[in-house]
Amino acid sequence: MNLYEARASNIRRTWILILGFLLIVIALGYAISWYYGNPLILYAAVALALATNVYAYWASDTLVLSLNRARPASREEFFDFHTVTENLAIAAGLPMPKLCVIDDPAPNAFATGRDERHAAVCATTGLLAMMSRAELEGVVAHELSHIKNNDMLLMTVAVVLAGFAALAANFFLRVSFWGGGRRDENGGGNALLAVLAIAGIVLAPLAAKLIELAISRRREYLADASGALLTRYPEGLASALRKIGGYGAPMRHANLATAHLFIGDPFGAKNATTGGWIERLFSTHPPIPERIKALLALKAE
């Protein structure tokens, strides 16, 4: 598979996941509306889910950096970081993003920002000290690809949908303790449908979370392919991922809220490499050996 085919394949798979996500949310909304015969409950849940996530998206370029204790990366102290990013941003047709660093020996990096003009690329001091120039180019190209592919917007949509599913299900369970619904209004006539509706409502947040994680993993594959397309040198990113996976230890201040943004799992690489299928299912990142294998299989045609 060449670079262009890999990028197109990942985009298709992402949108298939998004479609599945929307179907789950629609089904959840219908089940709750049917059970209570009152759509106002859904409107309240949607408004709450949106309100809790819109701010995070709008202020992402400052909020995420603050949560991860990042500081500005001066040109004098991190000259290679600046020059590599400048060259790749020009090649990608992107404005120069803000550059930041996290004082942490664990090699890692992430990109954030609501759009191309409000974006930041952040790397740990450990990554900048450990990588060769070709490896650093691979990492920066990966992060610029997240910006170019509007991944922050897509992941915000995924978080909103997953948040809606969790809030709606939680609200339903709390209200159900007070009775009401189709079972009470119609005796046993709709008992089976009511049980199915309740089961669907309870399981919907789990399904939504799994799809959210699957989207996050798929966007990592897409950024890998897009980054390789930008540098025309997949081996650089593959070598960088090998070093990131080989380090293993977690970051000092890893944060669950922003873990999916990093190029490698900030809680350590073991879950993405040696963990069982359950750990991998609930991981925000695809296994590093699989990412390296996919990169090395690409051809710059």
Q: In what order do the strands lie in the sheet with 109-113?
A: 71-72, 98-102, 119-124, 109-113
Strands 119-124 and 109-113: what pairing?
Answer: antiparallel
| Residue 117 burial (CB count, 10 A) | 11
Say if residues 38 and 171 touch (Cβ distance below 8 Å).
no
Token pair, residue 157, equals 């949509």
Phi, psi of 262 (to 5 degrees): -75, 155
CA distance linking residue 272 with residue 230, whole number of Å: 25
Say if residues 235 and 291 touch (Cβ distance below 8 Å).
no
Catalytic, out of 143, 212, 235, 301: 143
CA distance linking residue 42 with residue 163, whole number of Å: 13
Torsion sign (Cα): 168, 170, 171, 173: positive
Say if residues 36 and 181 touch (Cβ distance below 8 Å).
yes
Residue 102, beta-bridge partner list: 124
Please state, in angstroms and as integers, the Cα–Cα distance from residue 54 to each residue in 50, 157, 175, following that order: 6, 9, 26
- Burial (Cβ within 10 Å: 0-12, 13-18, ≥19) of residue 289: middle
Task: Verify whether residue 143 is a known catalytic residue.
Answer: yes
Beta-carbon contacts of residue 72 (< 8 Å; ≥ 6 apart): 98, 99, 100, 101
Active site residues: 143
